[in-house]
Amino acid sequence: MDGQPSRSGQPTADIVNRIRDIPIYRSSIERGHFPILDKPEIARGFPDNWMTPVLADALAAGAAEFVLSTGTNHARMQIIRPPYFLLNSYYQLWSEHPDIADTWHEGCQRVSLTTVLATEHVARVNAKKHGRTALAPVPDLADRRLDDRTCYINLTLDPAHWDRADVERMLAEIRTAQQAHPHGRYHLDCSSYHLAHLVRKVTDWGLWDRFPRPASIVHAYEYTPVNVRRYLHEHFDCPVIDLFGSTELGYLYYSDRHGRYHPYLDKMSVELVPVEPGSQIFSMIVSSVRNPYMPLIRYRSGDCARTLDGTPDPEKITRFCGREKELLASAHGQGPVAQGDLDDCVSAASPRVFVHQLRVPGDRSGAELRYTTFDGAPVDASEAAALSTGVERLTGLPCRVEHHAHIPIGKSGKYAWLEHEQSGQGQGQVPEHVGEP
């Protein structure tokens, strides 16, 4: 950002001048102090609390638009941004990323394998462009093309339910993108879970000869578990990159091919605040003027992070560990448990676990860890015992471990890591780790 905030996170004079006319910030400017901005405050009085003559003109001209943040099972937030704000943020980062910029500059097609909601969004936009009021039952590939660079291929809510015809169609569409490039290269954009499901089915049905290997892979739609990341690295020898961001902010961090995160804070800065005193899980507080129509100052994104040494230094973030609303209070008083903490526990016990979900009943009498595996078979007795012991040590709750052949995906097309029946704490929502085209 043009001028980093002070240690207290307060905006610089340059930033204050940029936001001076925005109603939501007037009282903060008068007081000379900007408190942390939470989502309910953004929604209160929307859009009048953001309206300026410049914004009104931009909305009238189509240079700004109303959209919803990419909620999953939790409430979505209405925001204002330039058209294709997140897509352009993705393209810019792809074009500059030290490990995969070559596939951007070579003109590789981007094949997106992610939630069916994202596919349907693209199909609806194209239907509207062509004067159609309804989606085709099975939109053809042309209707699933976002622009001349990107197409979407998933047409099913739950990737575990893809049949052979679904997989063969998607592989054929991938080959179409690959063959469009003079050197047979393409870029695969995905939800990591969706790609792992595709790898499993391609392996089970012996279809690897129909699956051209991508030149680069980005997963940017949700939290990626350690075991899923490892599984993808075992099957693809190209860079596998994570992007972290959100609809309202664009992308903030990217991983390199070795899994290390790097800031991408163009016109923004990040503060880390402990989610509770003494905790080394940090809430991310973001100041950004990247979106000129809705600059967010000291905005609580709802995401949590951990750092290399437990200090609140945004340059030292080593992982994004879930959503603040989903933190689970431990039963032994050792602080909150995040999605990433459970993931570390599971991956340490067994590399074979694919999808896992923790169920905590309302009376907190115990916990149940449900899991699937990459090969479909239960883990052995020693690994099951390690899972149970690890979860109990982490949460303070006795834990029963149960293998499932299938764990259903959520209605958003993302998995819930937690089912918690007690109101006011984690309700099994899924992180907003960017879930739109």
- List, as one string, the DSSP characters of 123-139: HHHHHHHTT-SS--SS-
DSSP β-ladder status, 367-373 and 353-360: antiparallel
**This prediction's pTM:** 0.92
> For residue 128, what pLDDT is reported?
87
Shortest CA distance to 300 belongs to which of 65, 40, 71, 76? 40
Q: Give dist(CA 186, CA 212) in Å, integer.
A: 9
Residue 290 reports pLDDT greater than 60: yes
SS3 category, 255:
strand
pLDDT in tens, 342-353: 999 999 999 999
Q: Which two tokens stand for residue 68?
A: 């919803």
Residue 435 reports pLDDT greater than 80: no
DSSP β-ladder status, 78-81 and 65-68: antiparallel
Confidence tier at 96 by pLDDT (50, 70, 90): very high
Confidence tier at 430 by pLDDT (50, 70, 90): very low
pLDDT in tens, 128-186: 888 887 888 889 999 999 999 999 999 999 999 999 999 999 999 999 999 999 999 99
Residue 67 reports pLDDT greater than 50: yes
Residue 100 reports pLDDT greater than 80: yes
Phi, psi torsion values for 45, nearest 5 degrees: 80, 10
Output the CA angle 362-368-370, nearest 5 degrees. Answer: 130
Q: Are the C-beta atoms of 194 and 228 separated by less than 8 Å? A: no
Q: Give dist(CA 428, CA 366) in Å, integer.
A: 16
Residue 204 reports pLDDT greater than 60: yes
SS3 category, 105:
helix
pLDDT in tens, 362-409: 888 999 999 999 999 999 999 999 999 999 999 999 999 999 999 999
Q: Which two tokens stand for residue 16?
A: 């204050």
